[in-house]
Amino acid sequence: MSEASIAVCSTCPRHCRLFEGETGFCRARRAEGGRVVAGNYGCITSLALDPIEKKPLSFFRPGSSILSVGSYGCNFRCPFCQNDSISQHGGLELDYQTTTPAELADLALRLWRDRGNIGLAFTYNEPLVGWEFVRDCAEEIRRRSLCNVLVSNGCADETVVKEIASLIDAANIDLKGPSQSFYDWIGGNFAAVCSTIEILHRAGCHVEVTTLVIPGRNDSDESIDAIASSLASVSPDIPLHITRFFPRFHMSDGHPTPVDTIHRLAGVARSKLNYVLG
């Protein structure tokens, strides 16, 4: 095929080059009509009313509940993935239901009336591989005076993040490691994640960050100090959740992170950040 028949995806730094009908690394975006579109648009694999603290968000509307929605696909290959049953699969491998942004927003509104739901959280898989659906739903949610929450690995192109930043009320972004060498292991881009955190914060979005501590990978004092320093350069008031690894996916033969390690690393992070949960 000619160079002209190749479509380049601009959603994340991977910039997949796709022939017509081909699906990208994330398993969610495909080349169609000479451009790359979200093949998972409106495809819902998971839907639940969750406590806001489960996102996790500890300083945004505490005690409330939010309608959480997930699709399929992810642009990372974390061997420790906690949601591999949907994030590491494509649409041909999963059962899903389809919906429109307006229908989903109407459901969120009904749940506000019936159960106090505060809005819609984009979560479970990686939401930004289908960012157009996030944008369209977020606009419908705003029209109904509800809140939008994003739970993401943060590895997206700046143009994508800027497109949705003003629509997101709160976000929890995974900062999985302290450097590009760590992100090479999981197939991501460290600088892009740091940029996403900064863009959302500067846009007025309430941002919290999670780091999953994996024994032997990012559990040194130096690793957490570097992560805390990176966040403090944006704002020392960004809350950091330091959480335990439990064996999953391709690391099912590993060992859970010791609780003492979490407590020690939380102390390290508190030298740079005002709000550390661990």
Are 161 and 199 contacting, i.e. CB atoms less than 8 angstroms apart? yes
- What domain range includes position 28? 3-277
Please give the tally of structural domains in the chain. 1
Kindly state the average pLDDT of the residues 230-254.
Answer: 96
Write phi, then psi, for 260 (nearest 5 degrees): -60, -35
Q: What pairing do the DSSP bridges indicate for beta strands 276-277 and 170-174?
A: unpaired
CATH number for the domain that contains residue 177: 3.20.20.70
Average pLDDT over residues 257-275: 98
State pLDDT tens for residues 167-224: 999 999 999 999 999 999 999 999 999 999 999 999 999 999 999 999 999 999 999 9
Rounded distance between C-alpha atoms, residue 261 and residue 268, angstroms: 11
**Residue 1 reports pLDDT greater than 60:** no
Question: Is the pTM for the entire model greater than 0.85?
Answer: yes
